[in-house]
Amino acid sequence: MFTVTIEPRFGDADGLGHINNIVLAMWFETGRNGVFRIFNPVMNLDPAAWNLILAHADYDYLDQMFLYPEVEIRTWIEKIGVTSFTIYHEAWQEGRLCAKGHVVAVHYDFVRHESTPLPEDKRKLLAEHLLPATDRQ
Amino acid sequence: MFTVTIEPRFGDADGLGHINNIVLAMWFETGRNGVFRIFNPVMNLDPAAWNLILAHADYDYLDQMFLYPEVEIRTWIEKIGVTSFTIYHEAWQEGRLCAKGHVVAVHYDFVRHESTPLPEDKRKLLAEHLLPATDRQ
Amino acid sequence: MFTVTIEPRFGDADGLGHINNIVLAMWFETGRNGVFRIFNPVMNLDPAAWNLILAHADYDYLDQMFLYPEVEIRTWIEKIGVTSFTIYHEAWQEGRLCAKGHVVAVHYDFVRHESTPLPEDKRKLLAEHLLPATDRQ
Amino acid sequence: MFTVTIEPRFGDADGLGHINNIVLAMWFETGRNGVFRIFNPVMNLDPAAWNLILAHADYDYLDQMFLYPEVEIRTWIEKIGVTSFTIYHEAWQEGRLCAKGHVVAVHYDFVRHESTPLPEDKRKLLAEHLLPATDRQ
């Protein structure tokens, strides 16, 4: 599991005083940094170095989130395929599971413009963060 | 169908030069304005006036989008339930369908904090924008 | 003068129901598209093609803006220097001037990593959008 | 001084691979949380509780920022007036001062829609974070 703690900013609340649905997507993206760094330790954006692309994202909004207190984003690997893998995220505030979601990331060669198989060493590093069946919410 | 035309801004491109996945979520939210105005013509954010809340969102990224030229967001109603309905969005750039997705919106009373049935007049207005089976991508 | 019309999205309002200060910065960036296209007609982000970098931005928040109705961003060139120029923006909603601000853009070579003089043809195109003294708010 | 550490997210980089100018504004807003909590410890957005509004913001972009490593936002109070005060922010990455800026916040009554004098107890708490003359960059 990867964990990041988010301190909401004033503008993250929408007109009803709740965290806007799109802000959650930003927080999950921050939560993916640990996954990105498996592939690219210093977040090098050169097309010859960066090699992940998003194919799908989904979000379930379970409970309202507020500006205070801080929010914890928990991130696991849910499934590892040949050229892609699925990431699972949860957002927790004050002991409440407020949102969850998935992202499908494709291992992609930005120079050749095609997906490529996940190398074995990366598969092993991803597997260290697999979601245990018992932890699923 | 509701249509809005989006002019990307410089910061909407990510480090690989493509529109960031979260920017698409913002554009779809803009695309929902026509739906919101069925319920709330002047976008009044008073909890006694606003009555929609998001329960789910999903996005499929089909092709890369760029800063230029402009993007068209097309929005339909896909399904109308008792207290909720499903919105379907597409993003088009230069004749290419680049992304699609759904949002489930719940008719919600922010004063009583509970979902409430969709009134008949709103159901009729939503039904005018139903996605024809033949238009589905 | 360059003009763009902005349709606010739901999440652009902050917890007090007003447009968040940072959203204005995004709208001004969209307002700069006309300026960017003088230098780069198709918004090509290749470091050999893109040649503007921001050195400064300021914003004065004069009146509250709301989710409805649409907002007009007006953009002029205020001053043209040797390697940089100043852009002036205004945001109008329902006949009210709600915000104004400036940005200093530097003509920059992203390959050599240094500022370079503004070419004469670009200076002429910028000069066509100079802010008339009588228009200043 | 208030300090927050920011972990950039993938989409914070623009098409040239640098942190977008507007992302900096978001980070400075997060940096203001310590100031906001002097006035409103749990970030209560009720118009009878929230009492700060932004009148001005400016940003100087001194050096490029990247997705990695983390960024430190340092925040001080620069000046305390009768109904308003000035906040000063700096962004540091790897020992480099990359950006600085100011915000003028007005003590505002959102129910009566007018600015009101800063109470003495808040002035004292703000004064504990005054920028020492020797620290100015």
Q: What is the pLDDT of residues C38-90, one digit of tens each?
A: 999 999 999 999 999 999 999 999 999 999 999 999 999 999 999 999 999 99
Mean pLDDT of D81-101: 98
Would you call A36 and D11 a contact, using CB atoms and an 8 Å cutoff? no
What's the mean pLDDT when you consider all of chain C? 96
Residue C133's pLDDT band (cuts 50, 70, 90): confident
In this prediction, residue D136 carries a pLDDT of: 61
Show the low-confidence residues of chain B (pLDDT under 50): none
Tens of pLDDT, residue by residue over B78-104, are: 999 999 999 999 999 999 999 999 999
What pLDDT is attached to residue B43? Answer: 95
A2-133: CATH architecture: Roll (3.10)
CB-CB contact of A23 with A12 (8 Å): yes
What integer best gives the mean pLDDT of chain B?
A: 96
Nearest CB partner across the interface for A33, out of D7, D26, D66: D7
How high is the pLDDT of residue B137? 59
HSE, CB side, 13 Å, CA atoms: give it for residue D115: 14
Nearest CA in chain D to A26: D9
pLDDT recorded at residue C136: 61
Q: What's the CA gap between B99 and B90, in Å, rounded? A: 6
- Report pLDDT digits (tens) over D96-124: 999 999 999 999 999 999 999 999 999 99
pTM for this structure? 0.96
- List subunits contacting chain A, requiring 3 or more Cβ pairs under 8 Å: B, C, D
**Chains contacting chain B through 3 or more C-beta pairs under 8 A:** A, C, D
Segment among C7-11, D45-49, D68-72, D81-85 with least mean pLDDT: D45-49
For tokens 């909603």, name the residue: C93
d(CA A49, CA C59): 37
Do residues B43 and B32 touch, judged by C-beta distance below 8 A?
no
Question: What whole-number distance in Å separates Cα of residue A102 and Cα of residue A79?
Answer: 10
Closest residue to D13, CB basis, from B10, B14, B22: B14
Assess contact for B88 and B131: CB atoms under 8 A: yes
Q: What pLDDT, in 10s, does the model give residues A7-52? A: 999 999 999 999 999 999 999 999 999 999 999 999 999 999 999 9
d(C-alpha B6, C-alpha B24), whole Å: 10
**Contacting residues of C for A10, CB less than 8 Å apart:** 14-15, 20
Q: Which residues of B touch C9 (CB under 8 A)?
A: 26, 29-30, 33
Q: State the pLDDT at residue A133.
A: 75
Give the closest of D16, D50, D53 to C50, CB-based.
Answer: D16
Summarize the confidence of residues A90-96 as an average pLDDT: 98
How big is the CA angle at D7 (ends A108 and C53), to the nearest 5 degrees?
Answer: 80
CA distance B115 to B108: 4
- The domains of chain B are located at 2-135
Q: What ipTM was assigned to the predicted interfaces of this complex?
A: 0.95
Q: Which CATH fold would you assign to the domain D2-135?
A: Thiol Ester Dehydrase; Chain A (3.10.129)
| CB pair distance less than 8 Å for B26 and C45 | no
C26 contacts B7? CB cut-off 8 A: no
| Residue B106 confidence (pLDDT) | 98
pLDDT at D137 over 80: no
Contacts of D110 (CB under 8 A, 6+ apart): C16, D47, D48, D50, D51, D53
- Beta-strand relationship, A114-115 and B2-6: unpaired
Instruction: Pinpoint the alpha helices (H) of D4-119.
Output: 21-31, 33-39
Percent of chain B with pLDDT over 90: 96
